[in-house]
Structure 1
Amino acid sequence: MGLKPKTWSKKTRRSVGVGAVVAAALAIAAASTPAFAGTHGNQTKAVKTATPIKHLVVIFQENVSFDHYFGTYPKAANTDGTTFKAKSGTPAVNGLTNKLLNNNPNEYNPSRLSPDEALTCDQNHSYGPEQQAYDGGKADQFVQFTETDKCTGMPIIFGEPGLVMDYYDGNTVTGLWNYAQNYAMSDNSFDAGFGPSSPGALNLISGQTHGVQAVDSVTGKPVSNSLSTSPDKKGIGTVIGDPDPAFDDCSDTNHTSTNPLAKMTGQNVGDLLNNEGVTWGWFQGGFAPTGKANGYAVCGATHTNVGGNAVVDYSAHHNPFEYYKSTSNPKHLPPSSVKNIGKTDQANHQYDMTDFDAAVAANNVPAVSFLKAPEYQDGHAGYSDPLDEQQFLVKTINELQKSKDWSSTAVVIAYDDSDGWYDHVAPPIHNGSSDPANDQAMCAPTKKTKPLNGYEDRCGDGPRQPLLVISPYSKTNYVDHSETTQPSILRFIEDNWKTGRIGDGSLDASAGKLTNMFNFNQKPVTKPLILDPKTGAVKK
């Protein structure tokens, strides 16, 4: 498919007005209690699960708001791309109404992006500007604060004034829309806070962005640096940006620079799973080193995206476990064997995506798996796109649905941040912050929104994002309206494998539950839904 070069299209400019709806609801659901055998190190012990889910696979993608992918769901234009026609009775979502499409309070109306416009500019998704875009809940300042309509660095990039407002439909993100048709999705799931990738990834595995300390990239000793915000006397504060992790040879562009690195204190879900003897792993494209230089492993693998642009596969700041010494694999050592994937060995639960493929083929998928696509397939605007992303999602889920463990598996598709893309639902603020250097008035703490443990710069919820659950136990063609965040996934893991909570002000305890997207009383629907990776259309 040919992609359009950078062009400027005509859009309707709007005068700034008022309009945004705050949607919030909580769900409570029950679950059953079968048993699951987990392993820790070289020992095996019985591990009971609270639900029939024995294998959870979290596919953690990049930089998409809900409206950007699902704003007009389930109605597609069907003027180009892959045809999509919704099933009868498909529920509506809190999406882009005719008023929002034609009389939006922002300076531009949202415009549909075609499959030929898959490669676009990356938007501004920093902690402060995202708050400013929501303008105290009116959601009318996206063009002023998060828009990037011109960009360089890639030969084929689409841009236009008002780009930040734009959206795809089922003719481009066809695979995701077909998964929503046949399984469960949410239209009320939010980033746990404002800001970019690293905070979102940390919230996924620990519900915590406080506890970061800047360290020297060579010695690992603490240094004075603005890497963390609101630091205490020891320099430990909150991370709101994208620093590289302290325990990763491939940080600082394979250690060719000497920027301070980020060390996280406290614990994460990997520590909790290890304590309970549950197998787990983080699998990321490009994690396998391509060589060594100056004593460091080098992550040099690349792929070309749909526009023919070469992209480095591995991004260190996308791997949250490498911020914690206890769960890191600094030298990117491989697992000692396929049989030991998920157990504690030299890989320390950190793997290349090829190791996940090997584990699936060997029927050795860990109890909990986190998947991070190579960058060209992770959906991040600027170097990835929905078409390349679709190929990764569909290929991976097709493999899992054909595996012997599918009857007890759940796949969660979630995102680390919104990229600054427009979403009309102003996020509810549950955890306030009053840092004058970074926080807007909407984050000002109240009696109900005092910062947990007094940690500043964790204002949230942040922007709304897609969330899908694909499983034999998923509700079918179902839209969940209960409020969830990235730590809801963490909470599901904690509850299912009975690990206990993270503590220290983690957002896990207060996160909404995922269980409303399941029906654990139903007979599991194990018949695979096989999609075409290129088109996203249903094959069988």
Structure 2
Amino acid sequence: MQPRSSPDARGTPRPEERRPLLGPDGEVVHYELDDDINAPRRAPPTWRSTWGKTVAITALFLIMGILLVLAFFFLGWGITGLPHGPSTPSPQGPIKNVVVLVQENLSFDTYAGGLTYHPHIDGLVNRTYCNPSNIDDPNSHTVCAKPTAQNVAPDDPDHSIAGGAMQVYSTYHPNHTSHPTMQGFVTEQIRAYGIDRDLSRAAEVINYYAPDHVPVLNAMAQNFVLFDAWFAAVPGPTNPNRAYLTSGTSHGHGMNDIDFLTSSLPQVSIFEQLSAHNISWINYSNTTGFLPDALFYRWTAQTGKGETHIKPIDRFYHDAKTGSLPQFTWINPECCSYMSFHPPSPINMGEGFIKSIYEALRASPQWNETLFILTFDEHGGFADHVAPPDNVPPGDEHTHQEWALDGSQIEFKFDRLGIRVPTLLMSPWVGQGVVQNRPTDQPNDFTHTSILKYVAELWGLPVLTPRVAWSPSLGGLITGVWRDTPEKLPEPADF
């Protein structure tokens, strides 16, 4: 969370540059429904007499009754505490409940760039990634990424829109000729904190975690779907990204300004949309000093939904246990001291929190109909080696202006995505150990508004904004095959 902006450069990758959906061993994964699902139904047999039909139906019911009794006693169906399989998928698919947890301020490289379980993760393993300490001095010292990131980052990196421009383009004023070098992270960190004589401290902006320091993430990724090409919606701070996550636009806001504290955003949010279509939702919140995301919006406050549809985080654990979660669950972590990952939050405490959310969902009676999406609102100023896409449609026509560290004013048109963030899909209906690269079955790049695109498809909702329309859906990763999933995840690392 940091208040504190410049358009153009890199287009969406050409089709030949896009990489496939990969399985655990690097193979291309194709999910196909069972032939029985798509096969035409057979016509019922023609009976020669009513008597024959009656006998056949009676025999059929007798056999079904015997099988049901046997299943009840020998398989333990319906008995609390025993393993249970999936329910029958609905015509729209098996997912009936969507749970979204948005954590704070980590780039993909920082948190997931050191994972080694899959050979095709686009991270920092077997890669040398360095930044100059002064982007304007070709003879300045070079700082290279190492798997030595600390449990508590010593500084909170600059994650303003202006700072993001420097980090990506090595200038506060990128234009259509600017190249996204991803070389400005260390320079911006040194300028923001005046630490030019302490390069080891500045290096924390580019260092990353080894798998044994992020065992919860490592286990989640090995068991479910990890995106290594999921970009934040805005190359800037928390609340504009959270607004895009929940409404497909920030209505021109590029800072964590007063409107986010006074429920002043006027646009239609996913929460308003769900209410209009009689789809249940709750925003479970552990926020400290900030409004939960649903209360960014004027509609939420004026209709009283802030009183009825925003619940404390303890209620989430209760509702998960009793099987009473709504169709759409939105979870806010605290910010920014202990469980959110936002500096100075310890990494292992953040891992403990996401572990607790997963395990509550896994133990819930609703797990077999649930999709759990874990993402991060933005990169938090931490380095990443993959350039984000530009020339993307904004959510609306509003622009944002702010001042850069060099004293100049910049204007941002919301036509560039933010830097990569770690994102996972978890459900008994997704593949195991899958690494999702850039999509090959849809144009454009996965981004925060891909969640809104999927939810619109799932429940037949109108698409909220041009940015949502542009975004690929994640629905293709939901399979027609149920599988068992881990009940527990590893304990967080003891740094």
TM-score by length of 1: 0.64
Q: Where does 1:160-199 land on structure 2 (aligned, <5 Å)?
A: 160-199=201-240
Structure 2 residue aligned with 1:479, among 435, 446, 449? Answer: 435
- Contact kept, 8 Å, 1:91 with 1:477, in 2: the verdict is no
- Contact kept, 8 Å, 1:181 with 1:476, in 2: the verdict is yes
Residue 143 of structure 2 aligns to a residue whose secondary structure is coil
CA distance in 1, matches of 2:164, 2:412: 17
Residue 128 of structure 2 aligns to a residue whose secondary structure is helix
- Contact kept, 8 Å, 1:114 with 1:172, in 2: the verdict is no
- Contact kept, 8 Å, 1:192 with 1:486, in 2: the verdict is yes
Q: Where does 1:379-528 land on structure 2 (aligned, <5 Å)?
A: 379-431=340-392, 457-482=413-438, 483-503=445-465, 505=466, 507-518=467-478, 520-522=479-481, 524-528=482-486
CA RMSD of aligned residues (A): 3.5
Tell me by how many angstroms 1:148 deviates: 7.4
CA distance in 2, matches of 1:439, 1:494: 37
CA distance in 1, matches of 2:375, 2:190: 23
Runs of 4+ displaced beyond 4 Å: 20-33, 103-106, 146-152, 432-440
CA distance in 2, matches of 1:491, 1:484: 10
CA distance in 1, matches of 2:221, 2:329: 21
- Contact kept, 8 Å, 1:122 with 1:148, in 2: the verdict is no
Structure 1 residue aligned with 2:121, among 93, 114, 123? Answer: 93
- Contact kept, 8 Å, 1:21 with 1:424, in 2: the verdict is no
Instruction: Map Cα deviations across residues 278-334 of structure 1 (whole Å, 9 max, x no partner).
Output: 111111115xxxxxxxxxxxxxxxxxxxxxxxxxx3422xx332121222389xxxx
Instruction: Map Cα deviations across residues 349-385 of structure 1 (whole Å, 9 max, x no partner).
Output: 2121112112112210111101112223443432312
Residue 413 of structure 1 aligns to a residue whose secondary structure is strand
The residue aligned with 1:141 is 184
Residue 162 of structure 1 aligns to a residue whose secondary structure is helix
Tell me by how many angstroms 1:149 deviates: 8.2
Once the two structures are overlaid, the 10-residue window that deviates more, 160-169 or 417-426, is 160-169
Residue 73 of structure 1 aligns to a residue whose secondary structure is coil
Amino acid at match of 1:181: Q
The residue aligned with 2:44 is none
Q: Which structure would you say has the larger Rg?
A: 2
The residue aligned with 1:282 is 283
CA distance in 2, matches of 1:478, 1:498: 27
TM-score by length of 2: 0.70
Amino acid at match of 1:113: T
Instruction: Map Cα deviations across residues 465-497 of structure 1 (whole Å, 9 max, x no partner).
Output: 101011101111010012310000111111111
Tell me by how many angstroms 1:192 deviates: 1.2
Q: How many residue pairs align between the two structures?
A: 384
CA, structure 1 residues 399+151, in 2 after alignment: closer, same or farther (shift >3 Å)?
A: farther
The residue aligned with 1:321 is 294
Tell me by how many angstroms 1:534 deviates: 3.4
Structure 1 residue aligned with 2:489, among 517, 531, 539? Answer: 531
Tell me by how many angstroms 1:459 deviates: 2.8
User: Identity over the aligned pairs, expressed in percent?
Assistant: 21
Is residue 294 of structure 2 the alignment partner of residue 364 of structure 1? no
Residue 374 of structure 2 aligns to a residue whose secondary structure is strand
Is residue 163 of structure 2 the alignment partner of residue 121 of structure 1? no
Once the two structures are overlaid, the 10-residue window that deviates more, 103-112 or 410-419, is 103-112
CA, structure 1 residues 184+464, in 2 after alignment: closer, same or farther (shift >3 Å)?
A: same
- Contact kept, 8 Å, 1:121 with 1:148, in 2: the verdict is no
Residue 275 of structure 2 aligns to a residue whose secondary structure is helix
CA distance in 1, matches of 2:346, 2:254: 25
Is residue 270 of structure 2 the alignment partner of residue 269 of structure 1? yes
Amino acid at match of 1:409: T
CA distance in 1, matches of 2:12, 2:109: 14
CA distance in 2, matches of 1:500, 1:436: 27
Q: Where does 1:327-366 land on structure 2 (aligned, <5 Å)?
A: 327-328=300-301, 347-366=307-326
Instruction: Map Cα deviations across residues 168-211 of structure 1 (whole Å, 9 max, x no partner).
Output: 1212111011110111001000011210000110011111112x
Instruction: Map Cα deviations across residues 136-161 of structure 1 (whole Å, 9 max, x no partner).
Output: 31111111224578599xxxxx9712
- Contact kept, 8 Å, 1:123 with 1:381, in 2: the verdict is no
CA, structure 1 residues 99+382, in 2 after alignment: closer, same or farther (shift >3 Å)?
A: closer
The residue aligned with 1:9 is none
CA distance in 1, matches of 2:266, 2:240: 14
Amino acid at match of 1:476: Q
CA distance in 1, matches of 2:191, 2:284: 31
CA distance in 2, matches of 1:159, 1:396: 35
Q: Where does 1:14-29 land on structure 2 (aligned, <5 Å)?
A: 25=18
- Contact kept, 8 Å, 2:263 with 2:295, in 1: the verdict is no
Once the two structures are overlaid, the 10-residue window that deviates more, 59-68 or 138-147, is 138-147
- Contact kept, 8 Å, 2:160 with 2:235, in 1: the verdict is yes
CA distance in 1, matches of 2:101, 2:32: 23
Amino acid at match of 1:321: A
Amino acid at match of 1:196: P
Structure 2 residue aligned with 1:240, among 254, 270, 280? Answer: 254
Residue 489 of structure 2 aligns to a residue whose secondary structure is coil
CA, structure 1 residues 496+171, in 2 after alignment: closer, same or farther (shift >3 Å)?
A: same
Q: Where does 1:60-75 land on structure 2 (aligned, <5 Å)?
A: 60-74=102-116
> Which structure is higher in helix share?
2
- Contact kept, 8 Å, 1:67 with 1:424, in 2: the verdict is yes
- Contact kept, 8 Å, 1:63 with 1:381, in 2: the verdict is yes
Instruction: Map Cα deviations across residues 4-58 of structure 1 (whole Å, 9 max, x no partner).
Output: xxxxxxxxxxxxxxxx99867499999999xxxxxxxxxxxxxx77321111111
